[in-house]
Structure 1
Amino acid sequence: MIQVTNRYWVWAGPLALFSLILDQFTKALVLNNDVFNARGCLFSSVPNCGKIEISQSFDLSMVWNYGMSFGMMQSDGIGRWILFAVTLVIVVVFSGWLLKADRWSTALALAFVIGGALGNMIDRARFGAVVDFMDFSGPWFGITFPATSGPLGWLDKAIYNGDGVLGLGFPYVFNVADMAISLGAIILIADQLLVKED
């Protein structure tokens, strides 16, 4: 049995819950908007998910992610449940760590990671894939490079949309849970590296 050695969980627990609720709320907005055709493109061999263009640099683009954050480790079938189990182990271990954390910054980081991981776990259990929709892949500040051949052409086909133009943008579509996990990871790394241990 884990012994609670701090009171950070009093605010870190609700913060994790808030991250989870915000993630699921935003995903519900996408899932229930006919423009995105989210359920229609879930298992389609030719995905025809929808998109709402907001600006040159940011769009809302429905994408089903069968892997982990930012599309890493794509898998389905039994792989879906392996990813679910790995995420569950992370949530359990980090929750135990949260109850024993000796710094507020550690508790803050763990709360974000736990909330985000739970948000993506719910999607994986319900759909077999995670709802991603925040798309910053458009060229930032209008900066583009021709990418018809060579290493830029390969990069354009592998990561971007293969249109022969490589925009200076972020190539992944993500969600609130991914943001929470990434923020938590950054805080956790800074916490572990920058805070002087006794």
Structure 2
Amino acid sequence: MTSSPLINRHGWTAYGLALAVVVLDQLSKHWILFVYDLPSRISEQVAGPFFLTMVWNQGVSFGLLRADQDLGRWLLVAFSVLVAIALAVWARRGDRTLMALALGLVMGGAIGNAIDRARFGAVVDFIDVSRLYFPWVFNIADAAISVGVVLLLLDGLRRDSTT
């Protein structure tokens, strides 16, 4: 009888992708804040409808459910960390590549935004495509979470259609 590994191949895929998202997210925010100095510029057009616009997001997602007080801030940090831990436990034994990718994206995004809340009291948002009728300014962590949730839904639909 062979024992299964504590973390399988799909789990490592999820963890690796989560780490990549956190690194890319935090590097982009560092560049925006301290190299490009977007806070002093407020908003700059990059190309066509793509702007860099500085927003300090105190809300949960896309500015919803604002957490202006310290208690709310730390509750959101704790919630994000708990979500990432729960997803990490789920990913540990994942059996599908699409699910692993989805969990990795959501974990990485949750951790990236939790780091911002802990460091700054708000999430650093700067990607602005509002001229394309997308009303929110967001960041790489937000994009990873959104894509990850869509992939989780697709994985669930694919799984249901094969059973």
In 1, the alpha carbon distance for the partners of 2:93 and 2:108 equals 18
- Unaligned ranges ≥5, structure 2: none
**Shift of residue 82, structure 1, vs aligned partner:** 1.2
Per mean C-alpha deviation after superposition, the further-off stretch among 62-71 and 176-185 is 62-71
Q: Which stretch of the first structure deviates more once superposed, 24-33 or 9-18?
A: 9-18
User: How far apart are residue 56 of structure 1 and its match?
Assistant: 4.3
1:118 is aligned to 111
Matched residue of 1:116: which SS? helix
Identify the residue that residue 16 of structure 1 maps to in structure 2.
18
RMSD: 1.8
Shift of 1:193: 2.0
How does 1:33-182 map onto structure 2 within 5 Å? 33=35, 35-37=37-39, 50-77=42-69, 78-138=71-131, 140=132, 169-182=133-146
CA contact (8 A) 2:21 2:141 kept: yes
| Larger displacement relative to structure 2 (53-62 or 182-191) | 53-62
**Counterpart residue type for residue 123 of structure 2:** V
- Contact 2:113 2:141 (C-alpha < 8 Å) held by counterparts: yes
Cα distance in 1 for partners of 2:139, 2:123 equals 9
Secondary structure (helix, strand or coil) at the match of 1:22 reads helix
Q: What is the TM-score when the length of structure 2 is the normalising length? A: 0.88
Who is 1:143 aligned against?
Answer: none
Aligned partner of 2:31 in structure 1 is 29
Percent same amino acid among aligned pairs?
Answer: 43
Is the CA contact 1:109–1:183 (under 8 Å) kept in the aligned structure 2?
yes
* Paired residue secondary structure (1:195): helix
Q: Distance in 1 between matches of 2:87 and 2:155?
A: 15
TM-superposition CA deviations, 1:106-146 (whole Å, max 9, x none): 111000000111000000000110000000112x3xxxxxx
The structure with the greater share of residues assigned to helix is: 2
The AA in structure 2 aligned to 1:170 is F
**Secondary structure of the equivalent of 2:74?**
helix
| Whole-angstrom distance in 1 between the partners of 2:121 and 2:115 | 9
Unaligned runs of 5+ in 1: 39-48, 141-168
Higher-Rg member (1/2):
1
Could you tell me how far apart the structure 2 residues matched to 1:21 and 1:27 are?
10
SS at match of 1:133: strand
Letter in 2 for 1:19: V
The code of the aligned residue for 2:153 comes to: I
Count matched residues: 157
TM-score, normalised to structure 1's length? Answer: 0.74
